[in-house]
Amino acid sequence: MRKQYAWRSLALAVCFAVIGLSVIAQMVRIQNSEEADFFRKRFDLYASKVETIYPARGEIYDRNGHLLAGNQIVYEIGVTLEAVQNPATIAQALTGVLGVNYEEIYTAITEPPEGQVYLALADFVPADQATALQQLQENLDAQPDDGAPERPSLAGLVFKQHLARSYPENSLGSNVIGFVNYEGRGFFGVEGKYDDLLAGNSVDVWVPVDPYRVEEIPQVPDGTTLILTLHRELQAAAEQILDQALSDYGAASGTIVVMDPRHGEILAMASTPRLNLNEFGNYAQLFDNTSEFNRAISMPYEPGSVFKILTMAAALDAGVVQPDTTFLDTGAIMVGGAKIENWDKRPWGLQDMTGCLQHSLNVCMAWVALQMGPQTFYEYMSSFGIGHPTGIDLLGEAAGRLKIPGDADWYPVDLGTNSFGQGVATTPVQIMMAASAIANDGKMVTPHVLYGMVRDGEQYNIPPQDAGTPISAETAHVLNNMLAVSLENESSEALLPGYRLAGKTGTAQIPTQYGWYASGVTNASFIGWGPVDDPRFMIYVWLEKPTTSIWGSDTAAPVFAQVAEKTVLLLNIPPDSVRQQFATR
């Protein structure tokens, strides 16, 4: 009997052992099956969420390390709807601190879209306002619960911090810098031109919901930091001088650009109006169209007599005239069947080419252009880059317009009027690039505002870019001296004691939409550079529609002298006598 029970017990034990081993084997099989691998992956997905990680936008500095554009912490403020206890308190708190509409906030919380779990109420909230709300929330949470049904509470209020663009200098250099909108997109200037570099590369990642796995979130490299050629103090001085000039001369708007003609580095670029970049929402109130954001690059105009330096450069280089070539100015000349007169409508008699520049004689320049002929004249103007973008690294550059023989709207008289800057549309930077050949031994340089960039802790400087050699070094030297002599002989208001400068005024009539020129309304300009023997700066001044005087010699020239004085001080350029004394030792 006992043997029978022992056999049954053994059989039962074996049966249970087999069943147990089968279960274990099945577990092992299931855990290593394709289905198990699929479910493990799905579990990981459910335990994570897709999130786009944006890098910090690269900062922007001037050439001396002054921060022009950076980032600041701001907050998105919202509510987790199921945690809200008192919508009225939340609406009242946001109204008091942020100045938002009470009814809109209250309605948004009490009547959310179906299925909504989280609701954003405000974004780009400054840190101090967010801190005030957080403190209020803590104070209300700390109050004892008295059981009142409408107990004040900010429960459910959520604060999410993120970065937003900030501009510590407000409007300083705004025409060059541009701005970033709330969507993180760069507009105008450097922010627009180098938007991709500054923004960096965003990454879509699976972010673990489990807070203990937060270290698995990848670190995204920041955007590229940019160093500009701008000189902060010179930029501020140029803007201040420009604003004062508009007031003094009753001008509608204006532009001042300072460039190093050796490298094309833009040291200052001031234009009006200017936008406080921290308040970019006011853009439409200041500008009627995009070309007004930076007149120096985006608004072509007929420059007038500053263009004569290019006509003379071409004629000297082509061998058509020499400095001592004489011309009998009778006060008028016929070109293409049209009569061209001087700015004062009177004859100036026998003049050499320096005298033609000094007295800014339209008749003489038209004669010079006729000696060259259309083909030679326009070939030189094209070589100078007139009618073509300079390639400056700012968003929104305009090309201007240079009509040439063969165009439907070109007429023979255009050869005469183009010679003194009428009937041709250019921008200040375009004229400066062309004039850099005169100041720089015949070699043109491309204007640029990017000095270098910093990426992964390494700085990479941007080399200057040549833009061609339209004239010889000899021509450049001869014309430099002619322009310096012409300023000295007329005792120009552009002169700066202690420094020999070269330059030219410009007073241009403004064409109307009807095809003729407005009476008594002009654009006043001046371009100049120095010191003549070793040019370190080039300055362009453009005042639109001055009212106290229509002449560039009375308005733009003295403004040039003010900017030149600031420039030599801030760039530490000694007077000629001191500099030349040390050079001979």
Residue 459 dihedral angles phi and psi, to the nearest 5°: -100, 130
Structure tokens at 49: 């969420």
pLDDT for the residue 518: 73
Q: Which of the residue ranges 151-160, 199-208, 336-345, 430-439 would you say has the lowest mean pLDDT?
A: 199-208
Domain ranges of the chain: 71-143+150-167, 232-277+289-583
SS3 557: helix
Adjacent-strand bridge partners of 269: 257
Tell me the angle at which helices 473-489 and 308-318 cross, rounded to the nearest 10 degrees: 130
Q: What rounded mean pLDDT belongs to the chain?
A: 87
At position 233, the amino acid (one-letter code) is E
| Model confidence at 4: pLDDT above 80 | no
Fold of 71-143+150-167: Penicillin-binding protein 2a (Domain 2) (3.90.1310)
Q: What is the DSSP pairing of strand 203-208 with strand 186-187? A: unpaired
Q: How confident is the model at residue 214 (pLDDT cuts 50, 70, 90)?
A: very low
pLDDT for the residue 502: 95
Question: What pTM, to 2 d.p., does this model score?
Answer: 0.84
**How much is the average pLDDT of 544-562?**
93
| Model confidence at 39: pLDDT above 90 | no
Write the pLDDT tens digit of every residue in 369-393.
999 999 999 999 999 999 999 999 9
Structure tokens at 535: 């040019």
pLDDT for the residue 5: 58
Q: Look at the block and give the residue holding tokens 């010679």.
A: 419
Distance CA 251, CA 261 (A): 28
| Model confidence at 414: pLDDT above 50 | yes
**How much is the average pLDDT of 466-489?**
94
Q: What percent of the chain has pLDDT over 70?
A: 88
pLDDT for the residue 120: 84
pLDDT for the residue 216: 53
pLDDT for the residue 411: 92
**How much is the average pLDDT of 414-421?**
93
Annotate 117-185 with three-state secondary structure.
CEEEEEEEEEHHHHHHHHHHHHHHHHCCCCCCCCCCCCCCEEEEEEEEEECCCCCCCHHHHCEECCCCC
SS3 400: coil
| Model confidence at 153: pLDDT above 50 | yes
Handedness of CA 145, 147, 151, 153 (dihedral sign): positive
At position 516, the amino acid (one-letter code) is W
Write the pLDDT tens digit of every residue in 219-246.
777 788 999 999 999 999 999 999 999 9
Of residues 463 and 458, the one with the higher pLDDT is 463
pLDDT for the residue 210: 45
pLDDT for the residue 144: 73
Nearest to 180 by CA among 100, 72, 256, 63: 72
Q: How confident is the model at residue 36 (pLDDT cuts 50, 70, 90)?
A: low
**How much is the average pLDDT of 280-304?**
92
Q: What percent of the chain has pLDDT over 90?
A: 56
Of residues 36 and 328, the one with the higher pLDDT is 328
Q: What is the distance in angstroms between the CA of the first residue and the CA of the last residue of the chain? A: 129
**How much is the average pLDDT of 175-187?**
92
Write the pLDDT tens digit of every residue in 491-532.
788 899 999 999 999 999 888 777 677 778 899 999 999 999
Q: How confident is the model at residue 31 (pLDDT cuts 50, 70, 90)?
A: low
pLDDT for the residue 330: 92
pLDDT for the residue 211: 43
Q: How confident is the model at residue 160 (pLDDT cuts 50, 70, 90)?
A: confident
Nearest to 359 by CA among 305, 322, 315, 404: 305
| Model confidence at 415: pLDDT above 50 | yes
* Class for the domain spanning 232-277+289-583: alpha beta
Are the C-beta atoms of 259 and 265 separated by less than 8 Å?
Answer: yes
Nearest to 222 by CA among 53, 62, 449: 53
Domains 71-143+150-167 and 232-277+289-583 share a fold: no
Q: What is the DSSP pairing of strand 466-468 with strand 157-166? A: unpaired
Write the pLDDT tens digit of every residue in 241-259.
999 999 999 999 999 999 9
| Model confidence at 169: pLDDT above 90 | yes
Q: How confident is the model at residue 46 (pLDDT cuts 50, 70, 90)?
A: very low
Radius of gyration of the chain (CA): 36
